[in-house]
Structure 1
Amino acid sequence: MSANAIRIWCAAIFATVGLSAVNQCNAWEFDPLFAQRSVLPTPAASMPGDVALRICVFESIPNPLPLQEAVERALCINPKTREAWANVKIAAADVGVARGAYLPTISADWQGVRDDTNTDVIGHPEFSSNYRNSVLRTESVSLNWVLYDFGGRSAALANANALLAAAKANQEAVLQTAFAGVAKDYYAAQAAQGTYLASQEIEQTALTSFKAATARANRGIASISDELQAQTSWAEAVTSRTKALGDWQSAVGSLASDMGLDASMPLSLPPVGDGVKPGAEFTESVDELIREAKRTHPSVRAAQAQLEAASEKTKQTRAAGLPTLSLVSKYSWNNQPTTLEVGTPQFPASGREWYIGFQIAIPIFEGFTRTYQIHDTEARTELQRYTLNEVEQQVGLDVWTSYQTLKTATDNLDNTAMLLDIAQRSYDAAQGRYQVGVGSIVELLNAQSSLAAAKRQRIQSLTDWRSARLQLASKLGTLGISDIAEGNSVAGK
């Protein structure tokens, strides 16, 4: 059965159960040297999670949209994750090429010609001839097998394996970055949604204050300035609510784009609830986290593999300038007719030839190109070493920054909870005092403004903490679907 027939058959089977035929049928690709085993069925399959990441097939968008659904859709559809997946496929194919260099190459040649030979001997027509042969055939089979090449093939294979390891590590790093990016956009949209809902409450509160000030002014208890100040505060609340709506729609558009949807796609997110239970303290010091990240982060492992590949490339280049020992063999057959002399009839005949032996190829002079090729690979190895140092330094900085951001966000959870409680009690007291005529409109409006700010800060602190812990997990290179669960202490992993 041909490869195309296998794909068509496989596609038909998987289409009946609603799965992605293209991704699932990758397992049927002809892979005699087992080089494609490192290629996973989908761009996000290497990320620990449920079956959605292994098939990248989703139903309609749920309402409200949970973070896990948004992340899974983004990881499967994001162009960068697909590019990284394609690079793994390329690197795996290169490993197959390097493994194939250990096998013999066999080639066959067939030639069929119509031969019309006409010989005119001037002055001696008795020696002239005119022969026509329908088909003259020549068939041959050749074999060439490199037996020894002073380490060139082994270095090429090591280089390909290192590049494959780098591609796989890079894919993990891209998935971590994409995960963190969509999580950040999700929480930004959730915060914007919460801010919009809070702005509606604030607008209603301002309207209530405005009505109370109007009632008191109509009864002559308060001055017209109280009513105007309350009306101004209400108008400002309306303006803030309108702006919050625009910010919310923009944030939702960014999240929809992350998932490969149109920015205009309406999305509904769950409300921002408290339910946050951070650990009392981080179980590891930031120094330990940085050291661990420099050792295990996918981007560091990718850079290390690139350095190893560059080193093996130097060995391969050196070996290419050394002799090679090959086993060579050939068998050929032809049906070329033969004749004893000019002018005598041709007789049907067949010929055979075969040989087997060893061939030694010794490069003697290459115009010094090999020397400069080695200089080039050595310089590239040095460059990769510096790149590795740069990546390690950046990973350390990212962990430090994310750690401090999470620590600040954790501290602010209690701070904003306390602030909201105080602002609510202050507003309740100011409203009561104003309604009984012992408080001023300035006191009420100040308390109202403080309550509005406290609500916004509380919503922001909740989403900041949730986002910050996922960002830290991403910088540590340990981010997974399980980290979406609320209250999972990232730093304590």
Structure 2
Amino acid sequence: MTISRLSLFLIVAGIPGLALAGPSSHDDPRGLMPVAPPPVSAGQAPCGELPARPLTLPDLVDVALCRNPQTRVSWASVRAAAAGQGIARAGNLPTVDLSVGPSFVRNDSFNSGGFVDSNGQIIGGSSSSNQVNTSASLAVRYLLFDGGGRAARIEAADARQRAALALYADAAQGVVLNVVTAYNSLLANRAVETANIANVAFARQSRDLAAGRKTAGVATSADQLQGETSLAQAELTLIQTRGNIRTAAAQLAVAAGLPPQTTLDLAPPAPLASGDMLRRGADALIADAERLRPDIVAARANVDNANANVRAQQSAGRPSVSVSATNTLSAVDTSIDRNSGVVGLSLAIPIFSGWNQRYNIASARAEAERQTALAEQTRQQAGLSVYSNYVALDNALASLVTARALVASATESAALAQGRYKAGVGTFADLLNAQSALAGARQQLAQNEFNVRTANAQLARAVGGIGEAIDGERR
């Protein structure tokens, strides 16, 4: 199986130091936050207005990936996780703080024992003074060593970013599958409508034939009434099917991120899948799924995150070394009073915290064990999903062959029954039975065509390569 751009990016994103980063900006000085989502398929069109032509299934998928709120929610989570990478890397740089602050000081003293000197000044009595003190301090602090906690927190943030990207890919593929399913449902309802139109035409012929035979005096009123009833039932079924078409069209519009009342002009669908994926075998498809499925990639990233958190908790119980430097300038009124500088080296050694740290480590280890078990569970469920959809597609293709043969035989049988009744050698009950069998066969053919299209998409989704399936239908 070929690898889509999104699947390839998920593989590359697992390599430390590689990420889909954007240019640096005020909010993202390191350039860690991705600007645009990676494409789900190689041929995905850029976001824009609806194409001014009949829409194919790939067109609808491209529109949905741009407009469906689910993809926007997941992409916002990716950008938030990328911001978390920048937060974790902040510990690699020093912190610099500048504080500047004036203060107003007023001193009042009271003394009743003062006297007046020869110049008329009060000596030793009450007095007051005002002054403005100003200070400016620049402090630089840097963590030299923390027992590996800083590196562990960066590894955890990188793992969370990989998980967020994988979850975005999973959500995007889910949106694609929803569009494909809604599209196939609309096609199936339209096929049912075509079958029901043919059923109405056949029922009308049978009714007219019964009415003609009654007029000729060679059939009873019961035949004509049964013909009328059969025609009314066929027309009622056609009306219900057309209502289903309108509902299916609204569901497709919403799946594409459009208002439900949007009128979609659809191009003729691509031919039915031939089952090429089945020739690779279930084992090969399961192996592809373990490599490509976004939920497996996310589960493995969650394990990496949990293991990094264990190391981060362990580092909290180890000594840390920091260096700091401070320079302070102070002034009284407008005269500089003092300029002092301090450089310090600090060693912090955790001694006892009520065993809090031990329990933090135990909790982190338990979480790592849980994430490891969840990753294995996800892997097993992915294998089951691939195999189940593999069997479903194989069964749908086999059923389609039988359904086509059933329609052919039912068509011939109905025509024969109609001819026999017209010739007066068959009963109207035989004609109605053949007519009902033909209607049922046409319904089954439409349903089996829907099953084949949907099963093919579901198997591609289960493997993690639904983007390639969509690219296969681009024209």
Same structural fold, with TM-score higher than 0.5 when normalized by the shorter chain: yes
1:265 aligns with 2:245: no
Q: Could you say which residue in structure 2 is the equivalent of 1:427? A: 414
1:112 aligns with 2:102: yes
- Contact map agreement 2:24 2:30 (CA 8 A) in 1: no
1:83 aligns with 2:73: yes
State the Cα deviation string for residues 165-211 of structure 1 (Å, max 9, x = none): 11111111111222112211211122112212321221122112111
1:228 aligns with 2:225: yes
1:145 aligns with 2:142: yes
- Contact map agreement 1:419 1:454 (CA 8 A) in 2: yes
Taking the aligned partners of 1:297 and 1:397, their CA distance within structure 2 comes to 13
Question: Please, what is the CA RMSD of the aligned residues?
Answer: 2.5
Q: Displacement of 1:463 after TM fit?
A: 2.1
- Contact map agreement 2:81 2:164 (CA 8 A) in 1: yes
- Contact map agreement 2:68 2:257 (CA 8 A) in 1: yes
Structure 2: runs of 5+ lacking an equivalent: 1-21, 115-121
Taking the aligned partners of 1:409 and 1:260, their CA distance within structure 2 comes to 30
Taking the aligned partners of 1:262 and 1:281, their CA distance within structure 2 comes to 35
Q: Displacement of 1:129 after TM fit?
A: 4.4
Which residue identity is paired with 2:162? A
Q: Could you say which residue in structure 2 is the equivalent of 1:440? A: 427
Taking the aligned partners of 2:72 and 2:199, their CA distance within structure 1 comes to 44
Give SS of 1:291's match: helix
Instruction: Give the alignment partner of residue 311 of structure 1, picking from 307, 311, 325.
Output: 307
Q: Could you say which residue in structure 2 is the equivalent of 1:132? A: 130
Q: Displacement of 1:475 after TM fit?
A: 0.5
Q: Could you say which residue in structure 2 is the equivalent of 1:352? A: 339
Taking the aligned partners of 2:351 and 2:292, their CA distance within structure 1 comes to 45
Instruction: Give the alignment partner of residue 50 of structure 2, picking from 48, 54, 59.
Output: 59
Which residue identity is paired with 1:88? V
Q: Displacement of 1:237 after TM fit?
A: 0.4
Higher relative contact order (CA 8 A, sep 6+): 2
- Structure 1 residues 228 and 472, CA, compared in 2 at 3 Å: closer, same or farther? same
Give SS of 2:393's match: helix
Taking the aligned partners of 1:450 and 1:27, their CA distance within structure 2 comes to 65
Q: Displacement of 1:80 after TM fit?
A: 2.6
State the Cα deviation string for residues 35-63 of structure 1 (Å, max 9, x = none): 21xx2414xx33124453x4x32236754
Q: Could you say which residue in structure 1 is the equivalent of 2:91? A: 101
Q: Displacement of 1:92 after TM fit?
A: 0.5
Give SS of 2:154's match: helix
Calculate the TM-score normalised by the size of structure 2: 0.87
Q: Displacement of 1:305 after TM fit?
A: 0.7
Between 194-203 and 465-474, the greater mean CA deviation after superposition: 194-203
Which residue identity is paired with 2:40? M
Q: Could you say which residue in structure 1 is the equivalent of 2:246? A: 249
Q: Could you say which residue in structure 2 is the equivalent of 1:453? A: 440
Q: Displacement of 1:216 after TM fit?
A: 1.2
Aligned residues with identical type, % of pairs:
30
Between 424-433 and 108-117, the greater mean CA deviation after superposition: 424-433
1:41 aligns with 2:36: yes
Q: Could you say which residue in structure 2 is the equivalent of 1:11? A: none
Give SS of 2:382's match: helix
Q: Could you say which residue in structure 1 is the equivalent of 2:177? A: 180
Q: Could you say which residue in structure 2 is the equivalent of 1:199? A: 196
Taking the aligned partners of 2:277 and 2:377, their CA distance within structure 1 comes to 31
Taking the aligned partners of 2:190 and 2:231, their CA distance within structure 1 comes to 21
Between 117-126 and 321-330, the greater mean CA deviation after superposition: 117-126
Taking the aligned partners of 2:72 and 2:336, their CA distance within structure 1 comes to 61
Calculate the TM-score normalised by the size of structure 1: 0.84
Taking the aligned partners of 1:348 and 1:131, their CA distance within structure 2 comes to 16
Taking the aligned partners of 1:40 and 1:457, their CA distance within structure 2 comes to 47
